[in-house]
Amino acid sequence: MSYKVERLKVNYKTLEEFKKFKEYGVQELSMLEDLQENMIENDSDSPFYGIYFADTLVARMSLYEVDAKFDRYFEPQQTYLELWKLEVLPNYQGKGYGKALVDFAKGFNLPIKTNARMKSQGFWEKMGFHALAYDMARDLSENPLVWQPEEKKA
């Protein structure tokens, strides 16, 4: 099964769809404020990518490119993608939507770092990610997992 992954636009419809996701917080609220205060244009690109089933956004993730000079995860330091807020609505889980989004992120051919919620560790391992040794100063409450494109693996 192949799904169409779309870059999500910042508009009132997208922001309404976001309310269905559990991980709804400051990032979504600040996008709403920016839109209301005309700080950003309607339909400008957001850091979110998602998959629609009919008119419903059923899966989404946020991606952000972090410059090599801020990298604390890879050796040597490199530019990577931070992937967060990967979430599939409950009725749509287990149908390949999560994998489709992760595969899309891998398509940028940059290393990826994410922070696994405890119960999703098995999913990330299946996606080829591996857990880094916990470093308290760096990780605090995070549980970092990383993936690297083939040619970058040691």
Least separation in angstroms between CB 120 and ligand COA? 4
Residue 110 near residue 150 (C-beta atoms within 8 A): no
Residue placing its CB nearer to ligand COA in the complex, 35 or 50: 50
Residue placing its CB nearer to ligand COA in the complex, 72 or 99: 99
Residue 68 near residue 77 (C-beta atoms within 8 A): yes
Residue placing its CB nearer to ligand COA in the complex, 38 or 141: 141
| Opening angle at CA 144, ends 139 and 150, nearest 5 | 140
Beta strands in the chain (DSSP E): 6-10, 44-53, 56-66, 80-88, 112-115, 130-131, 144-147
Report the residue closest to ligand COA, judged by CB: 98
Least separation in angstroms between CB 101 and ligand COA? 8
- For binding to ligand COA (CB under 6 A), which residues are involved? 86-88, 93-99, 117, 119-120, 122-123, 126
Least separation in angstroms between CB 92 and ligand COA? 7
Residue placing its CB nearer to ligand COA in the complex, 35 or 48: 48
